[in-house]
Amino acid sequence: MSELLKQFRHTFIESCINLIPILIIIVGFQALVFQSVPDNVVSIAIGFFIVVVGVTFFLMGLEIGIFPLGNNLSAEFLERKSLFWFALFGFALGFGASIAEPAIIAVASQAGEITKGALDPWTLRLIIATSVGAITAFGIIRTILGWNIGIIIVVGYVIVLVITYFTPPAIIGLAYDSGGVATNVATVPLIVALGIGIASSLQGRSVLKDGFGFVALAAITPMISIQLYGIFALGGDFSLEALNVVSEVEDEAHYIPGFTLLGIVTDIFKTFLNLVPIIVTILTFQYLIIKKPLPNISGVVFGFIFLVLGLYGFIVGIKLGLFPMGESIAGSLVEMNNVFFIYLFAFLIGFGTTMAEPALVAIIKQADKMSETRLNVTIIRLLVALGVGVGILVGAYKIVNGYNIWLLITILYSIVVFLTIFAPKEIVAFAFDLGGVTTSEITVPIVTAFGLFLATNIEGRDVLMDGFGLIAFASVFPMITVMGYSIILSKR
């Protein structure tokens, strides 16, 4: 118990340090730009504290439960030498985690609302979940057989761009953002642990080169499947104007004041339900296929308990503090009618939220711990955060000026493909995965709120056409910064 408390104290201090950039950005804008104190400063401060505690529990859950479990499952399946059962496990894990993911449910519901039911939300959820499950199974096969992940991912992005050309413009932003929300905070650590476990168990495999790539593949397939479904369900001549769609999107990111014991228990139970498909999948395969009890069962149980508490904690904290603060600043920036400060805040909020992203911190540390190549954790975090900041800035520029998302995304992914050719092979898959990891629980709600608020309050913009797509920009730029840095480093 003393060791657990010591680990909690260390992780809590680390989480506080990780949130400092966001705090500096928000306080700096309020003090220097707006020169005012927000009305709900007390609730915002409480929200920040809850986020810190939530992130602490989340990171501990990954460290003592999820990562060891993923590594052990990989070793057990490899020992059985059954590629079929391992791939089936991957499909069940990806499908089960995605079908119950709240962010995917929200995206599907918004797509149904946009198209007045022309896109069925339940069908969309099934398509996304099946895509993630199938690509997780493929990722397991690819890692075991040693196929080149760089070529596979590049081909995937080329397919995405080609399909986008034929996709109705109304759902392009949603389709790209769906790739980000499909790689959620509960699924990513486990599938990353599976990949690392496979690569570290097989002779001749590199953890960085062969163990990563799962997240990137899981982000690509929903983009393809949603756009294909949109093309066949809507047709090429679909337009929002024909449906008279209102430019307003409801979200669940706003906190309703007031804590009750029943409300807290209910919300924690809802958070637990999001993890039930993952738990059921693991237990089913562990006891029916592997036919062995879970090793270190106390660590696994505590890991999932901490994960549930952590998820609940920083979701509440985000709703109470980070989200309303971001929305308030966005509103003040629009009222000032100063695009410089809009762009500055876009960059800084992307940078700050990424530095605080718990899944990113955990996965970079796990990669450094398990790979044969020593990684500079701080430099990589800064590169990813810089990439997300630039991505949000470009996304904000697109909203302010009304540029076509397809053209910008095509240019950016072309740059990614070009860098993939010259980047060190062992860093490519890792860089692609970092782009998916950044779109997690802290970054997504704040960035989404910022984009929707800008599109709602800038004249001539449609919130549904222009407000979405920031997550896509936030995902692609970290790939550029990390691979670009690796190329420079290799030349030196």
The candidate with the shortest Cα–Cα distance to 187, out of 274, 285, 263, 293, is 274
d(CA 471, CA 174): 10
The candidate with the shortest Cα–Cα distance to 411, out of 472, 464, 366, is 472
Residue-by-residue pLDDT tens, the chain, 492 positions: 677 788 788 888 877 877 777 778 777 877 787 777 766 677 777 877 887 888 788 778 877 877 788 778 888 888 877 888 889 988 988 888 777 666 677 667 766 766 667 778 888 888 888 988 898 899 888 888 888 887 888 888 888 888 888 887 767 777 777 776 666 666 677 777 788 888 877 877 777 778 888 888 888 888 888 888 878 876 655 555 444 443 343 444 444 455 566 777 777 887 787 778 888 888 888 888 888 887 778 888 888 888 888 878 877 777 777 666 766 776 777 777 778 888 888 898 888 878 877 777 777 877 777 766 667 778 888 999 999 899 889 888 888 887 777 778 788 888 988 888 888 887 888 888 887 777 655 566 667 667 777 777 777 776 656 666 777 788 889 999 999 988 988 877
Q: What is the SS3 string spanning the chain?
A: CHHHHHHHHHHHHHHHHHHHHHHHHHHHHHHHHHCCCCCCHHHHHHHHHHHHHHHHHHHHHHHHHHHHHHHHHHHHHHHHCCHHHHHHHHHHHHHHHHHCCHHHHHHHHHHHHHCCCCCCHHHHHHHHHHHHHHHHHHHHHHHHHCCCHHHHHHHHHHHHHHHHHHCCHHHHHHHHHHHHHHCCCCHHHHHHHHHHHHHHHCCCCCHHHHCCCHHHHHHHHHHHHHHHHHHHHHCCCCCCHHHCCCCCCCCCCCCCCCCCHHHHHHHHHHHHHHHHHHHHHHHHHHHHHHCCCCCCHHHHHHHHHHHHHHHHHHHHHHHHHHHHHHHHHHHHHHHHCCHHHHHHHHHHHHHHHHHCCHHHHHHHHHHHHHCCCCCCHHHHHHHHHHHHHHHHHHHHHHHHHCCCHHHHHHHHHHHHHHHHHHCCHHHHHHHHHHHHHCCCCCHHHHHHHHHHHHHHHCCCCCHHHHCCCHHHHHHHHHHHHHHHHHHHHHHC
The model's pTM: 0.75
pLDDT in tens, 30-56: 778 777 776 667 777 787 788 788 878
Q: Please, are residues 393 and 346 in contact by the beta-carbon 8 Å criterion?
A: yes
In order of 101, 170, 261, 395, 396, the CA distances from 468 in angstroms are: 19, 10, 36, 9, 10
pLDDT in tens, 62-114: 778 777 887 788 888 888 778 888 899 889 888 887 776 666 776 677 667 66
- For 123, the token pair is 């069908």
| Vertex 263 angle, CA 258 and 269, to 5° | 145
d(CA 328, CA 47): 15
- The neighbour count for residue 331, using CB atoms within 10 Å, is 14
Angle at which helix 121-145 crosses helix 214-234, to 10 degrees, equals: 140
The candidate with the shortest Cα–Cα distance to 429, out of 224, 225, 222, 220, is 220
d(CA 65, CA 463): 41
Question: Domain ranges in the chain?
Answer: 17-491
